[in-house]
Amino acid sequence: MRTTVYVPGDAAALALGADAVAEAIMAGAAARGIELRLIRNGTRGMVWREPLVEVVTPEGRIAYGPVTVDVVGGLFAANFLAGGEHPLRLGPTEQIPWLARQQRRVSRRLGVVDPRSLTDYVARGGGEGLRRARAMAPAAIVQAIADSGLRGRGGAAFPAGIKWRTVHDAAATQKYVVCNADEGDSGTFSDRMLMEGDPFCLLEGMAIAGLAVGANRGYIYVRSEYPHAIAALQAALAAAGDFLGGFHVEVRKGAGSYVCGEETALLESLEGRRGIVRSKPPLPAIEGLFGRPTLIHNVITLASVPDILAGGAAAYRDLGIGRSRGTLPFQLAGNIRHGGLVEVPFGLTLRELLYDFGGGSRSGRPLRAVQVGGPLGAYLPEAQFDTPLDYEAFAAIGAGLGHGGIVAFDDTVDMAKQARYAMKFCAIESCGKCTPCRIGSTRGVEVIDRIRAGDRAQIDLLEDLCETMVQGSACAMGSMTPIPVLSALNHFPEDFA
C-alpha cells in the first residue's frame, strides 16, 4: 500500500520552502523505489513549524517540522514513512499541545483535508450543513444564524442574523451573496488560510446563505496579493459539480486597494469602478451590488455557517462569553515565537494568547506593544494584556478585536514611528472621497514629524486633528486611523518626547 504524505501548499508554507521539500521527498522516495501518495494540504496553522510534513501511519498522522530540503535524507534514514523517531518528529499531529488546546470550529478541516478534493471534504463532514439547509424554510435558516449569535468576523462584529433577515425580507427578483475576501489588515491571514486550505467550506457557506436570503449568485472578491487563494477557489469551483445546487459563484480579483475591504467600496470595485466608499444608507442589504439586495460577509463569517447548520445553533452559541458567541480564529503575528492560527472561544485573555500560545517574542526581548485588529486597531501596552478577548471588553478600553489579527512588537519599537505609519498608511490608501481622511492623514504625518523633531506643542494639534478625522470621515479608514495613533500617544507618551 502506498504511504500518504502531506506537504502543505499553503502560501506561508510555500514561502518557507514547501515546494522544494515536496520535490525532495518525492525524489527520495523514487530513489528508494518507494511509491508515495503526496497531498498538498492547507496549513495546520503552526506557521513556525512550516513546512510541516505529515505521514499517515496506522497510529494516525505523524508530524515532522519544520522540514527543510537538507533534512529529507535524514528523515528517510529515520524511516519517517513509518513514523520513525527523528529530532523533528512532533508526534501525532492532533496531540500537539498547541493544536490540542484549541477549539477548532471554522478551521476544523484546515490542514486536515485535501483542498482540491470534494470527496475528501464530504468524507470529513463537509456538506452536512447544506444538506440540512435544503430541508429547511429560508426563514428557519435565518433564525438558526440569529440564534447562533454569530457576528460579522471581518471587523465590525455586526450581528449576522440581522443582516440575513434584512436581505431575506427585501423584495427583489435578483439578490446576491458577496464574500469579502479582501483581507488587507496586516497581521491577519485566517481568510487566506481557509480559502487555500478548505475552500469548499466557504463555497458551502455561501450556498447556504443563498438559500436563506433568496440569492442564486455569489461573488468572492479576493485581493490580488493572494494569488494562491484565488487558484484554490477556482480549483474548488471547477471540482464542485452540482455540490452547490443552482448557486453560481464567481471569483473576482481585487487590484491592490486596502479600502476595498470596506463593503461599499468593494461593491463599487465589483461593479467596475474606483473603490470609493458609498454613503450609507442605503445599506447593501437593501441596495447593494448592481443596486440589488446583497448579503455581504467576510470569509470566516460565511465559512462558519456550515458548522452552525450542521452542529446546531445552540452548540455554537454555547461557546464564548457575553455577547461574543462562538469562536474566533486569532492570528498571532509579528514578533512572536509561535505565530499562526489559534481558534479558541472568546474569553481567553490577550496574555494567554501571547504567551501560552505565542510563547512570547521571537526576538527573546520583552513584548512592549501589541496591535490588535489591523492597521486601524489600537496599540495595547503590557498593562492591558489581561483584557479578555471579547468584543465588548475591547471596546471598553477603546480598542477592538477587528478580524482577530494580533501583531506583537518587542521593546525596540518606536511608538511615535508606528503612529506616523498609521497616518502614512491612511494617506496611501485613502479613497479620497472625504476631506478628513484624504487631507487629514497627510497633515497627520507632518504633525507627527514635528513632534518627533521635538515640538511638543504639536501634540494638541494632533489630538485635534484626530478628533476631526473621527467625527468627519465617511468610513472606518479615516475615522479609525486615529485609534492606533492616539493609543500609541496615550500609552507610550515617552516615545513622543
Partner 1 sequence: MDTNAILGRILHAHREQPGALLPVLHEIQEAVGFIPPQTVPVIATALNLSRAEVHGVISYYHHFRQEPAGRHVVRVCCAEACQAVGGEALAEHARTRLAGSEVTLEPVYCLGLCACGPAVQVDDTQLHAAMTPAKFDALLARLESEQ
Q: Which stretch binds partner 1 (CB under 8 A): 27-35, 95-103, 400-408, 463-471?
A: 400-408
Q: Chain-centre distance of CA 73, in angstroms?
A: 35
Q: How many CB atoms lie within 10 A of CB 349?
A: 17
Q: Which listed residue (272, 281, 364, 454) binds partner 1 by CB under 8 A? A: 272
Q: Does 375 bind partner 1 (CB under 8 A)?
A: yes
Nearer to partner 1, 90 or 370 (CB): 370
**Cell numbers found for residue 432:** 479620497
Q: Which listed residue (120, 128, 225, 463) binds partner 1 by CB under 8 A? A: 225
Q: Which listed residue (41, 324, 327, 335) binds partner 1 by CB under 8 A? A: 335
Q: Does 185 bind partner 1 (CB under 8 A)?
A: yes
State the minimum distance, in angstroms, from the CB of residue 229 to partner 1.
Answer: 8
Q: Does 11 bind partner 1 (CB under 8 A)?
A: yes
Per the DSSP assignment, residues forming a β-bridge with 367 are 410
Site string for partner 1, 25-64 (x = CB under 8 A): ----------------------xx-x--------------
Nearer to partner 1, 371 or 458 (CB): 371
Q: Does 332 bind partner 1 (CB under 8 A)?
A: yes
Q: Which listed residue (113, 203, 215, 408) binds partner 1 by CB under 8 A? A: 408
Site string for partner 1, 102-141 (x = CB under 8 A): ----------------------------------------
Would strands 320-321 and 294-298 be described as parallel, antiparallel, or unpaired?
unpaired
Q: Does 155 bind partner 1 (CB under 8 A)?
A: no
Nearer to partner 1, 75 or 194 (CB): 194
Contacting residues for 132 by C-beta, under 8 A, at least 6 apart: 309, 310
Q: Which stretch binds partner 1 (CB under 8 A): 139-147, 150-158, 331-339, 346-354?
A: 331-339
8 A C-beta contact, residue 436 and residue 473:
yes
Nearer to partner 1, 41 or 418 (CB): 418
Q: Does 291 bind partner 1 (CB under 8 A)?
A: no
Dihedral sign of CA atoms 16, 19, 20, 22 in order: positive
Q: Which listed residue (224, 245, 282, 464) binds partner 1 by CB under 8 A? A: 224
8 A C-beta contact, residue 349 and residue 386:
yes
Q: Which listed residue (78, 232, 233, 336) binds partner 1 by CB under 8 A? A: 336
Q: Which of 116, 254, 119 is nearest to 195 (CA)?
A: 116
Q: Which of 256, 275, 328 is nearest to 475 (CA)?
A: 275
Question: Residue 202 — left, alpha, or beta (φ > 0 → left; ψ -120 to 50 → alpha)?
Answer: alpha
Q: Which stretch binds partner 1 (CB under 8 A): 125-133, 140-148, 404-412, 455-463?
A: 404-412
Q: Does 254 bind partner 1 (CB under 8 A)?
A: yes
DSSP string, 330-382: EEEEES-TT-EEEEEETT-BHHIIIIIIT-S-SSSSPEEEEEESGGGSPEEEG
Q: Residue 396 carries which side chain, given as an amino acid letter?
A: A
Contacting residues for 145 by C-beta, under 8 A, at least 6 apart: 160, 161, 164, 212, 305, 308, 313
Q: Does 178 bind partner 1 (CB under 8 A)?
A: no
Length of the chain: 497
Q: In what order do the strands lie in the sheet with 248-253?
A: 248-253, 217-222, 176-181, 294-298
- Judged by CB under 8 A, how many residues of this single chain contact partner 1? 59
Residues that bind partner 1 (CB under 8 A): 11-12, 14-16, 47-48, 50, 183-189, 192, 224-228, 252-258, 269-275, 290, 331-336, 339-340, 362-363, 371, 375, 405, 407-410, 413, 418, 421, 425, 428-429
